[in-house]
């Protein structure tokens, strides 16, 4: 027993010491949680209050303090010029085209560079991130002569997708790069090739399927960007949803339409992003 006692004493001491830091950690955790909730609440209010105010304005009746759905009803009945529904349609089409073109262009390029020409990856990153450093107005100045020529052929606003692909490039690149970095793409490709896979199979049946989450993120960012884009379309004199909203605000006598249309756009954007996100989760179900 004599040999056991000091050990027990030491252990008790250690346990006592052990509980003290745990107690401290619990206190720190509580303070951290309070801080988190505080920050979350402040930033939540910062984002939510203007949105709530917008919805409230969109439901403003003729007299101050009254409620009405008139502004929401006018979205559908607004005849323009320019008309609203075609603007929504064109924006959605632009979102789809931009997403597809961006994916077709960037995804295989990134995988190919990662697998075959790694020395080029820094250059590719620089090129893809470059649009972040170029203000939209500068981009428009550069694109204007090209679009002036395109307009001669009386093509639709869908031609904006070229500019939108450039604008979406940095966000899509970052999302896809994160996905690619999370994979051991080299080993996977070598394993596939040793089993008889050609490069096309390696890229589209081995690497890309393991990047679903990254692809989805890139799509979400691209769609969000296209839904909210105003500057390029407006300055190049095309009409998309944001230009239309601006036009409504200037032309309608009911200012509430501007707010209802903006709120509708936001809700529409949220719904679309939620659907994409849900689809991504369904695809990933049962997978790592």
Partner 1 sequence: MQGLSRHYGPVVALDSLDLTVRPGELIALLGPSGCGKTTTLRLLAGLEDADAGQITVGGKDITRLPASKRDMGMVFQAYSLFPHMTVRQNVAFGLRLRRVGAAERDRRALEMLELVGLSTQADRYPHQISGGQQQRVALARALAIEPQVLLLDEPLSALDAKVRAQLRDQIRRIQLEVGITTLFVTHDQEEALAIADRVGVMRDGRLEQLAPPTDVYSRPATPFVAEFVGLTNRLAGTVSGGTVAVRGRDLPLVDLSTPAGPVTALVRPEAVTLASDSSGESGPLVGTVIATTFLGATSRVTVDLGDTTILAQLSTSDATALPAGSRVALTIRPDPVLVSADAPIADEG
**Binding segment (CB under 8 A) for partner 1, from list 32-40, 82-90, 154-162, 195-203:** 195-203
Residue of the chain from 206, 218, 221, 223 that contacts partner 1 (CB under 8 A): 206
Q: Please identify, using beta-carbon distances, which residue of 213 and 231 lies nearer to partner 1.
A: 213
Residues between 71 and 110 with contacts to partner 1, criterion CB under 8 A: none
**Binding segment (CB under 8 A) for partner 1, from list 32-40, 61-69, 191-199, 225-233:** 191-199
> Residue 43 is inside which H or E element, if any?
helix 4-58
Residues between 229 and 288 with contacts to partner 1, criterion CB under 8 A: 286-288
- 185 neighbors 115 (Cβ within 8 angstroms): yes
Cα within 13 Å of Cα(63), Cβ side: 1
**Binding segment (CB under 8 A) for partner 1, from list 43-51, 59-67, 79-87, 193-201:** 193-201
State yes or no: residue 193 binds partner 1 (CB under 8 A): yes
Q: Please identify, using beta-carbon distances, which residue of 29 and 284 lies nearer to partner 1.
A: 284
Q: Please identify, using beta-carbon distances, which residue of 150 and 193 lies nearer to partner 1.
A: 193
Residue of the chain from 107, 113, 172, 192 that contacts partner 1 (CB under 8 A): 192
State yes or no: residue 194 binds partner 1 (CB under 8 A): yes
Percent helix, strand, coil in the chain, to 5, is 85, 0, 15
State yes or no: residue 149 binds partner 1 (CB under 8 A): no
State yes or no: residue 112 binds partner 1 (CB under 8 A): no
Cα within 13 Å of Cα(176), Cβ side: 32
Please count the helices (runs of H) and the strands (runs of E) in the chain: 12, 0
Q: Please identify, using beta-carbon distances, which residue of 103 and 188 lies nearer to partner 1.
A: 188
Distance CA 270, CA 177 (A): 25
Distances (CA, A) of 206 to 7, 100, 111: 57, 20, 11
Distance CA 14, CA 16 (A): 5
- 93 neighbors 158 (Cβ within 8 angstroms): yes
Written as six digits, the tokens of 128 are 């893809």
Q: Which residues lie near partner 1 (CB under 8 A)?
A: 183-184, 187-188, 190-198, 201, 206, 209-210, 286-288
């Amino acid at each position: 027993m004599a040999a056991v006692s000091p050990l027990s004493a030491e252990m008790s001491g250690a346990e006592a010491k052990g509980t003290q830091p745990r107690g401290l950690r619990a206190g720190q955790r509580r303070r951290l949680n309070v801080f988190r909730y505080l920050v979350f609440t402040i930033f939540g209010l910062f984002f939510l209050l203007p949105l709530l105010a917008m919805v409230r304005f969109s439901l403003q009746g003729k007299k101050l303090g009254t409620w009405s759905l008139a502004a929401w009803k006018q979205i559908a009945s607004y005849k323009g010029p320019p008309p609203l529904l075609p603007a929504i349609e064109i924006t959605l089409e632009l979102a789809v085209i931009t997403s597809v073109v961006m994916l077709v262009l960037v995804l295989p390029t990134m995988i190919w560079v990662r697998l075959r020409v790694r020395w080029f990856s820094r250059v590719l990153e620089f090129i893809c991130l470059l649009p972040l450093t170029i203000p939209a107005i500068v981009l428009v100045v550069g694109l204007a002569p090209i679009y002036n020529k395109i307009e001669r052929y009386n093509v639709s606003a869908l031609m904006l997708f070229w500019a939108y692909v450039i604008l979406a490039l940095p966000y899509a690149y970052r999302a896809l790069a994160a996905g690619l970095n999370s994979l051991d793409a080299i080993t996977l490709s070598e394993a596939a090739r040793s089993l008889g896979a050609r490069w096309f199979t390696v890229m589209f049946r081995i690497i890309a399927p393991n990047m679903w989450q990254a692809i989805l993120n890139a799509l979400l960012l691209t769609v969000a960007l296209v839904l909210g884009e105003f500057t390029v379309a407006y300055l190049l004199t095309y009409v998309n949803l944001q230009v239309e909203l601006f036009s409504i605000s200037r032309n309608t006598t009911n200012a509430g339409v501007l707010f209802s249309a903006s709120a509708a756009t936001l809700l529409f954007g949220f719904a679309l992003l939620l659907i994409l996100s849900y689809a991504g989760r369904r695809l990933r179900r049962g997978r790592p």
